[in-house]
Each structure stands twice: as structure tokens, then as C-alpha cells.
Amino acid sequence: MFLEQAIFTSLKTNRQEGYQLAAVSPGVTADVARELEQWGPAHDSLYDARVSSVNFHPLESGEFCISRTTAEGAEYSGRGGERIYTQMLIASRELLAKFANNPLAVLEAVTAGGGICVHARPPATLERIRLVGRASVVNHLRLAELAGDPGPDGLVNLVHLTINAPRVGVRSHVPLARLLSGLISLLPVRFRTRYSFSTGLRFSPRRPFHIIALPEDPAEQRTLQKTASAKALDLTRNIPATDKLSRGWAYLIRDVFRSGHLNILPELLRRADLHTTESTPDEVAALVEAEVQAEA
């Protein structure tokens, strides 16, 4: 299977100057290109120019955009500041399904194959990226790592807010991409593509990601919560207890952690995906929990 790709960055061309869709592969349609330009991050979009941002969001075409944004080199205009460079991968629903609807697993596979790079001067056209393989539904090694920091309660809080809040701002000692890798393993597979995210871009109404990075500065946090209607989850501070969670998917995940038997998680996820008529993970949780209790 193949991924189309595009590059969004700052440069001067015969067509225009500044941030633009600098190059695309042949399969990127005009409609998709216009949508990518709307989501493309420009000058000063990164919270921390030293750290790249991994981003994911759906497209109106039914495809999905997985991207990596970095600060690389200087802007051509000479106005100061680093050039923001974003490589965008366009994945079909079928390709993403082969990777358990995990956009981070797709990005890892492309990176391992040498498909992620930064061009000093983007080429006129880009090649499609051939991608083989698949990903497991649960990344057990990542969950074991995150069980230490931020710990089960931190993960359960993240699951709960992801499902129930209009938008979530997250801060953690653990790199956000690694934390989201664990989150994805804890969500029913068919719901995973609902939750767009960015691990390092400043919030913008043009880029309405569902999960975003929470800045360190308290004033910026308050602004983000006010302008983006984001619920803040700062896992570097006191993590809220999960004892009073109402029943739902996060409640079920909490009980899996407390049982010490994370090996049953793939079976719970399999059962969750058998219930295709329910519209929320919490509705699915009630059915899965009833099945498990009846068998017990």
C-alpha cells in the first residue's frame, strides 16, 4: 500500500512567497491540497523549536493526515527565526486499519524505511511512499513503561478526558508522542481515528486538534483553556484520583490496571470492536463489561 505526501514550509517560488504547500506527490488532489494548506503550521507555530511535533487529523476526503513538524534552517525572508517545516503523509482508511488505526505506528514504519526527511529545497514533485507491514493492537512494552510514569491513574485520566472532554491539553514528564502511543493502545480500535492530536504545535482555530500540548506557563495554560475550551491535564503535578469515575470505558481500563492483568486488554478491545452500532466508547464499555461479568 502507498502513502501520498506533501511538504508545507516557507520559501519563494514563481507562484508565491512565504508558507505554502511546497511540493506534493501525484495522488494529492486539489481538494486535499487546499485542506492541507489550511492545517499547515507557519512561523512560530511550535511551542519549543528544539522539539519536533507529531500531528494527526482526519481529512474531508475520508483519508487521514499524519505529519511531522520541525524547525529546520532559517526562513528565506531573513526576518529571523527558524523555518517551520512539515512533512505530511496522507493515509487511506484501509492503510491505517492495517496499523490498528494507530497513526504513530504508521509514522514509525515510514521513519524506519527512511521516508521522513527534510529538504533544504523541496523537489518539484514527491514520490509516493510504499509501506508494508502492520502493527499490533496493543503496545505492551509502551504500556509497561508508562505504568511507571505517569502511572495507571495518569493514563486513566487521559483516557477519560479524551473520550469526554471537547478538547484536552496535556503536559507530562514523558514526551507527549510516547504518552499518546500508550493512550492509543487503551482505546477501542474503531474509535481511535476520532481523536486528532498534536504533540507540540500551538493551538490555532485553523488547526482544531482534539489533544494538544499544554504549555508550561500558567498564564498560557489559562489562555488555552479559555480560547480552546480545553480541559487541562498536567501530569507533572498531582494526578487526580480515579476512585470516583463513573462507569464507562475509562472505568473499565482502570479496573484492568488494578487487576494487574494487562494481558486481557487485546481481548477487551476485540470484544469492543464487535459492537459496531454503539456511538461512544462508554456505550461499548457497558456491553463489554456485561459480557465479561456474565461469563465469570
Q: What is the pLDDT of residues 18-33, one digit of tens each?
A: 888 999 999 999 999 9
For residue range 61-103, list pLDDT tens digits in order.
Answer: 999 999 999 998 766 666 667 889 999 999 999 999 999 999 9
d(CA 165, CA 233): 11
**Across residues 236-248, what is the average pLDDT?**
90
Same-domain pairing of 198 and 252: yes
Residue-wise pLDDT tens digits, 205-226:
999 999 999 988 888 888 888 8
The DSSP result for 165-182, as a single string, is SS-EEEE-SS-HHHHHHH
List, for residues 165-174, the tens digit of each pLDDT value.
999 999 999 9
- Tell me whether residue 30 is in a domain: yes
Q: What share of the chain is helix, strand, coil (3-state, %, to 5)?
A: 40, 20, 40
d(CA 218, CA 198): 20
Residues 161 and 126 in one domain: no
Who has greater pLDDT, 3 or 293?
3
Number of structural domains found in the chain: 2
- β-pairing, 64-74 with 168-171? unpaired
Q: Is residue 39 part of a domain?
A: yes
Asked if residue 135 belongs to a domain, the reply is no
Q: Does residue 291 sit in the same domain as residue 254?
A: yes
Q: Are residues 145 and 274 in the same domain?
A: yes
pLDDT at 196 over 90: yes
pTM here is: 0.92
